[in-house]
Structure formats: structure tokens, C-alpha cells
């Protein structure tokens, strides 16, 4: 190799390190949720994918710090605070009654940058219509998008987008 090629490789290594650090900090703000109504069991199953850094920054605004979600040093109270936050920002109503969900658990996503939170609503008796209000992270980020996939036994209604201006949607369960 000649000197010019070494110079370009050196520049790539120097700027590449800077670029890699920037890639780790994402410029978009998004969550995705899969909500499934299972009529035969009268349950609603929820899976919510949310970026850890966005969640921790938002919880810090409410005075909750040091959770270190997804690390070996994760706070023992992390699940409690995540559940409380999700309960306040994701609301489901069935036939005009608010539904309360149970915390099932969470796991790291494959890229280790986000978590999947699993929730379940029992006794969602004979839901004809479900109203979903999704304000996850919209108090923190003006550009936050919350993508929801709503499924029933007979249909899939994929990818409805919730944001700071469009936070409530109604879904038929038939």
C-alpha cells in the first residue's frame, strides 16, 4: 500500500470511531406495540418495544434515576417503575370501561438497545370495541411515534401510528 491509502485508512478509523458513537444515539423516537385480543380466553396480550435510553431519560424527568435497565446493575425497582410508566401512558378501554393490565415481564431486544415489555389484561369480557390511548414518550419527544399492531382472532389491523397529535384510536374486536 502506498502512503495515501494509509492516510485514508487512518482517517476512516478516526472518523469511524466518531461515527460509531453517533450511531448508538438514535435520532428517531419510536415505540412499537403488538396488542392481541384473544376472545376465547377473554384476554388482551400486549408486547411493547421501547428504547432503553429514551425510557430512562423520560423516567429521570419524573425523578426516577439509576435504573440501569438491561445491565448487570439493573435496579430491583426497574420493573415497578416501567410498569407504572406504561400504566400511565398506555390505556385501554373495553366497552367504555378502563382495563388494568398485569405485568408479565420484560426482556432485552436482540440489539440490546431496547426492551420488550409484556403485559396481559385478564377478564376482557366480551369486548365489542377497544379504545387505545398511547402517549408513550410523547411528553419527552415532540417527534415520538408509537406504532401499534392490533390483532383479533379474525383479523390483523397492522401499524396504526400514534403521536403527540393523534393519541386515541378505536378498534372493533369482531
At 91-106, the pLDDT tens digits run 998 877 889 999 999 9
Rounded to whole angstroms, the Cα distance separating 62 from 122 reads 29
Q: Is residue 42 part of a domain?
A: yes
Q: Which ranges in the chain belong to alpha helices (H)? A: 3-24, 52-61, 78-89
User: What domain range is 110 assigned to?
Assistant: 29-172
Q: Is residue 2 part of a domain?
A: no
Q: Is residue 11 part of a domain?
A: no
Q: Note the pTM of the prediction, 2 decimals.
A: 0.79
90: left (phi over 0), alpha (psi -120 to 50) or beta: beta
Nearest Cα residue to 118 out of 169, 49, 32 = 49
Question: How confident is the model over 106-125, as pLDDT tens digits?
Answer: 999 988 899 999 999 998 77
Q: Is residue 100 part of a domain?
A: yes
| Burial environment of residue 105 by CB neighbours within 10 A (0 to 12, 13 to 18, 19 or more) | exposed
Amino acid at each position: 500500500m502506498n502512503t495515501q491509502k494509509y492516510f485514508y485508512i487512518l482517517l476512516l478509523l478516526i472518523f469511524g470511531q466518531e461515527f460509531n458513537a453517533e450511531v448508538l444515539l438514535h435520532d428517531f423516537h419510536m415505540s412499537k406495540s403488538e396488542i392481541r385480543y384473544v376472545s376465547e380466553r377473554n384476554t388482551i396480550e400486549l408486547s411493547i418495544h421501547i428504547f432503553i435510553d429514551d425510557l430512562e431519560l423520560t423516567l429521570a424527568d419524573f425523578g426516577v434515576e439509576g435504573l440501569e435497565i438491561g445491565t448487570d446493575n439493573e435496579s430491583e425497582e426497574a420493573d415497578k417503575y416501567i410498569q407504572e410508566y406504561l400504566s400511565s401512558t398506555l390505556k385501554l378501554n373495553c366497552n367504555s370501561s378502563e382495563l388494568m393490565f398485569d405485568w408479565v415481564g420484560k426482556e432485552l431486544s436482540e440489539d440490546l438497545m431496547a426492551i420488550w415489555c409484556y403485559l396481559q389484561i385478564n377478564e376482557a369480557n366480551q369486548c365489542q370495541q377497544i379504545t387505545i390511548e398511547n402517549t408513550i414518550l410523547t411528553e419527552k419527544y415532540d417527534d415520538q411515534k408509537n406504532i401499534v399492531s392490533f390483532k383479533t382472532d379474525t383479523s390483523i389491523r397492522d401499524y396504526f401510528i400514534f403521536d403527540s397529535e393523534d393519541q386515541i384510536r378505536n378498534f372493533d374486536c369482531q
